[in-house]
Structure 1
Amino acid sequence: MKFHTRKWIKPEDLNANNSLFGGRLLAWIDEEAALYAIIQLENQHVVTKYISSINFMASARVNDIVEIGIEPVKFGKTSLTLKCEVRNKMTRQTIITIDEIIMVNLGEDGQPKAHGKHQIEYVKDRLEAKTK
């Protein structure tokens, strides 16, 4: 799994127990999944359709650095299914895992639209192909 984003836990990210608020972490994950899908599907109009069971395995505290890993699981006709792991950057301890996040590609009308993608594409490869 590739870990694309790091977040520094600040006091405003904590819950009443002085550990990372789960809702804040889920917002970060949702944003990361959306960015991943936008880049893969080459469309800024994607939405989160489904997030499977969330397994909180450890907590994070102020000044910890967490990293968010996203990996594609399946390309559907109009969707992209991802999985996620968040871990503590320093200790490598897993904080949370999510087996399925389904992102749906939308057309201009806001309805699901086929994206025509079948595998991971890297931006550098797209740029090289355009210059040839």
Structure 2
Amino acid sequence: MRYHTRKIVKPGDLNPNETLFGGRLLEWIDEEAALYAVIQLESKRVVTKFMSEINFVSSAVQGDIVEIGMDVVNFGRSSLILTCEVRNKLTRKTIIKVEKITMVNLDENGKPAPHGKTKIEFVKDRLAQN
């Protein structure tokens, strides 16, 4: 798992139990998945199509630093399937796991479009080719 983004849990991120609100965490995951897909597919027209069962393993509290990890499960013709794990940065304790997130590349009419990608590419490698 490659961890890309870190967030600090702030007062506005808490639920009435004073732990990280699940909806806020899902918002962060969806944003990270979109960023990851846009970078991998080199397309700004990417949307979330599906999130599998979500497993909340532990909670986070105000002041915790969480990190969001994404890995590619599969490249489809017009899709990219990711897996996600969010963990506490300092304790490494898993907070949530999402087995599959399907992101879909769209054309200018909002229809699924082939992206032509088959493997993970790193921006530094793309820059080296230019």
User: Same fold by TM-score, threshold 0.5 exceeded?
Assistant: yes
> What is the CA–CA distance in structure 2 between the aligned matches of 1:74 and 1:121, rounded to whole Å?
13
SS across alignment from 2:19: coil
| CA RMSD, 1 decimal | 0.4
User: How much does 1:123 deviate?
Assistant: 0.6
Where do 5+ consecutive residues of structure 2 fail to align? none
Which residue in the other structure is 2:79 paired with? Answer: 79
> What is the CA–CA distance in structure 1 between the aligned matches of 2:20 and 2:124, rounded to whole Å?
35
Which consecutive segments of 4 or more residues in structure 1 shift more than 2 A?
A: none
> What is the CA–CA distance in structure 1 between the aligned matches of 2:73 and 2:122, rounded to whole Å?
16
Which residue in the other structure is 1:107 paired with? Answer: 107
Count how many residue pairs are aligned between Structure 1 and Structure 2: 130
> What is the CA–CA distance in structure 2 between the aligned matches of 1:125 and 1:89, rounded to whole Å?
27
Query: Normalising by the residue count of structure 2, what TM-score does the alignment of the two structures yield?
Result: 0.99
Structure-to-structure mapping, 1:1-132, within 5 angstroms? 1-130=1-130
> What is the CA–CA distance in structure 2 between the aligned matches of 1:90 and 1:125, rounded to whole Å?
30
User: How much does 1:96 deviate?
Assistant: 0.3
Query: Normalising by the residue count of structure 1, what TM-score does the alignment of the two structures yield?
Result: 0.98
Where do 5+ consecutive residues of structure 1 fail to align? none
> What is the CA–CA distance in structure 1 between the aligned matches of 2:40 and 2:70, rounded to whole Å?
12
User: How much does 1:23 deviate?
Assistant: 0.1
Summarize deviations over 1:52-111 as a string: whole Å, max 9, x none.
Answer: 000000000000000000000000000000000000001100000000000000111111
> What is the CA–CA distance in structure 2 between the aligned matches of 1:108 and 1:124, rounded to whole Å?
28
The amino acid that maps onto 1:93 is K
Identity rate, percent: 64
